[in-house]
Amino acid sequence: MVRLVPNNLLPPTVPNFHQILPTNQRPDVQKLYSQLPHFPSANFRTVSNASRPTAPHINMFRRAAPRAARLMRGGVCHEMRATFATSRRGLNANVSTTTSDLGQPDLASASSAEPSSNCRPLQEATYRQLPPTMQKMSLMGKVVIVTGGARGLGYNMAEACVEAGAKAIIILDTNTALGEAAVKALHEATNNSVAVAFYNVDVRNEEDINRSMDELTATHGVPDVLINSAGIADSNMPAETYDTKLFSRLIDINLNGSFLMAQALGKRLIEAKKPGSIVFIASMSGGIVNYPQEQSCYNASKAGVIMLGKSLAAEWAKFGIRVNMISPGYMDTALNNVPALDAQKKIWKALTPQSRLGAVHDLNGLAVLLASDSSAFMTGSNIIIDGGYTLY
């Protein structure tokens, strides 16, 4: 029997899985292209095929690239000079920032603003009314760990898991103030109907990880899901002058930290003979070289995360443990909203078919899908969610 549930009974995350945009409301791709910035033409190297007509997106790229080169090479814009020290090849962004998205810092993660929440947890009564397909897309009764979950995209995904029915959300982060604020916000939003806990954990520290895992397992049981969102980014760093200590630090957090977290949960799931889902937040930078910023270490770290996830997926499939990756494109986070990044953001948007940056909630549905039983036959997959950026 097919059961239909009105959308007003569902949390915001859940209807997104089954809403199909009517044809007459779908965006006009040609119109999107026509709204892109028209940069002055210039001579630069391109690969083309004279025997076929030039598509609109190729024209867009040809307009954008010369302008991008001028902005980020010899002549960094004045707003950037006012905020960052400049190197001979662009920005000298020696300050690492926490991230949970792409090849750029999740600048929202570096924000000191306390999180707030308007999420509504999926109620048991509503869950029972859902059709079987929608039930599988929920996280009803599951315990979910989110690293880097005190802020930014990690916090948004934690909210989505609450909306999808998780019975407990465990936030691991290095920022105690924001971690405690996140717990408070989620408790208030759910009227304390969902268990929420915070542990101050550095993902480089195996002892910290195992201690927190032992404590939370004693309270909530072996977690069902890990969303590994913690990470940092060093961007606009020429490889020939990259400080090797910074290089090692980034690899240690982004790649080694991902392994340590996955290992800590994986071995507990195996010992408990319990299936589980691990979701790595990688980046489109794990498969491409971003333009125009120089970030060799970040790109390498995210490529490593993707292959780590594929390797663990192959090894642990026999235990019922699935491992998948989300690779976001450019995301519009709070700290991106500064004049110093306006020029770079224009370039990112101009090279993205949807002509926008990702919103902080754009990863939520995919994170819930991969964490849920509806993706039970899916493991080792790297899903790019970038508004089409990597199509070019």
Active site residues: 283, 298, 302
Q: What are phi and psi of 76, to 5 degrees?
A: -70, 140
Would you list the DSSP string of 293-319? --BHHHHHHHHHHHHHHHHHHHHHGGG
Instruction: At 18, list the tokens.
Output: 């089954």
Please report, for residues 18, 168, 372, the alpha-carbon distance to residue 165 in angstroms, rounded to integers and kept in the order given: 17, 9, 10
The β-bridge partners of 200 are 173
Contacts 24+ apart (CB under 8 A), 127-133: 127/165, 129/3, 129/5, 129/9, 130/3, 130/5, 131/2, 131/3, 131/4, 131/5, 133/374
Helix (H) or strand (E) segment spanning residue 346: helix 342-350
> What is the Cα–Cα distance from 209 to 212, expressed in whole angstroms?
5
Residue 285 phi/psi, 5-degree rounding, is: -70, -10
Q: What is the DSSP string of 197-249?
A: EEEE--TT-HHHHHHHHHHHHHHH-S-SEEEE---EE--SB-GGG--HHHHHH
Helix (H) or strand (E) holding 276: strand 276-281
- State which amino acid sits at residue 90: G
